[in-house]
Amino acid sequence: MQADVLEYYDQTVSSPSGSFYIPAVLRVPQLLQVVKRRRVKHCLSRKNILFRDGFSCQYCSSEDDLTIDHVIPASRGGKWEWENLVTACSRCNSRKGNKTLLQANMKLRKIPKVCDIACSA
């Protein structure tokens, strides 16, 4: 793997073969490509769902006592995937329970979708 030095510190280090400036900023093109390929789609987690939804309930906008809700309940075949998971306060999650949105007479503030931020892991 090759790195390009974009900036150096003013200090040098010495070795038996000479004196060298210390790199301060490196650019590693291959590493950037790996990071670009790693998208949140592969990092589906409670934390990332909360982040995507702005840390607020997708039914009532509350920011208290947040949980994760399956839009289509797991007991009805709903999967643990971006488009089926939303942030919900415990009150709304309990109210919706094992029902569909229509049965619970509830609406989402926005349609859940895959989050497009770089994966931190």
The DSSP string of 51-72 is: HHTTTS-TTT---SSEEEEESS
**What average pLDDT does this structure show over 92-120?**
88
Query: For residue range 14-48, what is the model confidence (pLDDT) as tens digits?
Result: 888 888 888 888 887 776 555 554 444 458 899 99
SS3 content of the chain, % helix, strand, coil (to 5): 30, 30, 40
- Helix residue spans in the chain (DSSP H): 29-37, 46-52, 90-96, 101-104
Q: For 63-92, what is the mean pLDDT? A: 95
pLDDT of amino acid 120: 53
Helices (H) and strands (E) in the chain, counts: 4, 4
Residue 119 pLDDT exceeds 80: no
CATH of 40-104, one of 1.10.30.50, 3.30.1120.130, 3.30.700.30, 1.20.120.430: 1.10.30.50
Query: How high is the pLDDT of residue 31?
Result: 63
| CA dist., res. 24 & res. 8, Å (int) | 5
pLDDT classification of 118: cutoffs 50, 70, 90: low
- Rounded Cα gap, residues 86 and 47, in angstroms: 11
Task: Say what the pTM is.
Answer: 0.63
Q: Where are the domains of the chain?
A: 4-37, 40-104
